[in-house]
């Protein structure tokens, strides 16, 4: 049985062996740079693990998995421009280290390179893989646009928020799993379940991100607890609070959202108290569990030998239980 560590090692080698292109250096160096700020390689690992459910020759999923990681980093490069983000994984973003034009153009080439890597799948899978990838890529852009639209709106509903995170982050996790299945020759029922598992898990992960930003253990969370509250970020918790808060509570919440000059600690404490009074924490935890359960249910329903399924299940369990 191949372990997740072996898959990750093979993936890192696959990524390091590709230089994406040579000249002009301004175009390709930023791609190598952002790809080297290695995150957790969550998405391509999902592709490899899904492939390993159905074949011992999971190596044939390496380039498609790499494509998913390149695409993900392309979206980060362009999103960072749009969000004026100075840092990515603790390092300067591409538009800061170089400039916005280079970040636009390097990102464009990354998207092309993702398609290049996808073309490595067997001929009889190309059209299906690319059709699904196109749908996913367009959905991710739609999610990013909705996220930007939400910045200036104060009446975003829970349903709208869930739809936004489904598009912006979850469909790519769904596609990552589905892709592994397709490449490994899984049947339609299986690839549909893999996709649904990824989407449900993805929504769960994003809601958990939102939750940990407020209720995470400061010793384990890794970044400042309350950052989203300080920045008025429209998270699931804030949207729920805006939907539920009435009368004086709503006025108090609105005042904190409007206040430009505030003590950060005081704002975090007060808004957290408001969330508590509205039972936002329990409700969010329920929603998270709901989505994770849906995801696990899909994975359970895969007709795969249980010992074969174990690595993927325990990998996903680890992700579900993380506190940072």
User: In this structure, are residues 154 and 243 in contact, taking their beta carbons and an 8 Å threshold?
Assistant: no
Per DSSP bridges, beta strands 91-92 and 87-88 are antiparallel
Q: Given the complex with its own copies, which of 118 and 274 has the nearer CB atom?
A: 118
Q: Given the complex with its own copies, which of 4 and 21 has the nearer CB atom?
A: 21
Q: Given the complex with its own copies, which of 70 and 316 has the nearer CB atom?
A: 70
Residue 284 vs residues 68, 240, 270: alpha-carbon distances, Å: 29, 9, 18
| Minimum separation from the CB atom of position 116 to its own copies (A) | 5
Q: Given the complex with its own copies, which of 24 and 222 has the nearer CB atom?
A: 24
| Minimum separation from the CB atom of position 169 to its own copies (A) | 16
| Minimum separation from the CB atom of position 7 to its own copies (A) | 27
Q: Given the complex with its own copies, which of 166 and 287 has the nearer CB atom?
A: 166
User: In this structure, are residues 30 and 24 in contact, taking their beta carbons and an 8 Å threshold?
Assistant: no
Q: How many helices (H) and strands (E) does the chain have?
A: 17, 2
| Minimum separation from the CB atom of position 5 to its own copies (A) | 32
Torsion of CA 242, 244, 246, 248, to 10 degrees: -70
**Cα distance between residue 157 and residue 76, in whole Å:** 26
Residue 314 vs residues 178, 279, 299, 307: alpha-carbon distances, Å: 18, 31, 12, 11
**Cα distance between residue 184 and residue 174, in whole Å:** 16
- Positions that interact with its own copies (CB under 8 A): 21, 23-24, 26-27, 78, 81-82, 101-102, 104-105, 107-109, 111-113, 115-116, 119, 123, 126-127, 130-131, 134, 137-138, 141-142, 144-146, 148-149
| Minimum separation from the CB atom of position 171 to its own copies (A) | 13
Q: Given the complex with its own copies, which of 102 and 171 has the nearer CB atom?
A: 102
| Minimum separation from the CB atom of position 311 to its own copies (A) | 32
Q: Decide: helix, strand or coil at residue 87.
A: strand
């Amino acid at each position: 049985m191949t372990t997740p560590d072996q898959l990750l090692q093979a993936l890192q080698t696959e990524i390091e062996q590709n230089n994406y292109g040579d000249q002009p250096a301004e175009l390709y160096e930023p791609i190598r740079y952002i790809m080297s700020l290695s995150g957790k390689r969550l998405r391509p690992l999902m592709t490899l693990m899904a492939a390993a459910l159905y074949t011992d020759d999971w190596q044939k999923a390496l380039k498609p998995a790499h494509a998913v990681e390149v695409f993900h980093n392309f979206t980060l490069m362009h999103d960072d421009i749009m969000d004026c983000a100075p840092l990515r994984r603790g390092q300067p973003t591409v538009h800061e280290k170089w400039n916005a034009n280079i970040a636009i153009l390097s990102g464009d080439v990354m998207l092309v390179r993702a398609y290049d890597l996808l073309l490595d799948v067997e001929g009889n899978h190309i059209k299906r893989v690319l059709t699904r990838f196109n749908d996913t890529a367009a959905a991710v852009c739609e999610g990013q646009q909705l996220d930007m639209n939400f910045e200036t709106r104060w009446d975003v509903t829970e349903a709208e928020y869930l739809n936004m995170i489904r598009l912006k982050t979850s469909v790519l996790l769904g596609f990552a799993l589905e892709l592994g299945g397709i490449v490994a020759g899984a049947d339609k029922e299986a690839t549909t379940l893999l996709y649904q598992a990824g989407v449900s898990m993805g929504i769960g992960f994003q809601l958990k991100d939102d939750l940990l930003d407020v209720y995470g253990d400061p010793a384990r969370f890794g970044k400042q607890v309350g950052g989203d509250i300080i920045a008025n970020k429209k998270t699931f918790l804030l949207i729920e609070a805006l939907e539920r808060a009435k009368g004086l509570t709503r006025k108090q919440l609105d005042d904190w959202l409007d206040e430009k000059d505030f003590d950060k600690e005081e704002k975090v404490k007060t808004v957290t108290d408001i969330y508590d009074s509205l039972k936002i924490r329990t409700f969010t935890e329920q929603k998270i569990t709901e989505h994770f359960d849906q995801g696990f249910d899909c994975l359970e329903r895969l007709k795969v030998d249980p010992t074969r399924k174990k690595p993927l299940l325990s990998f996903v369990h680890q992700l579900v239980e993380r506190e940072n």
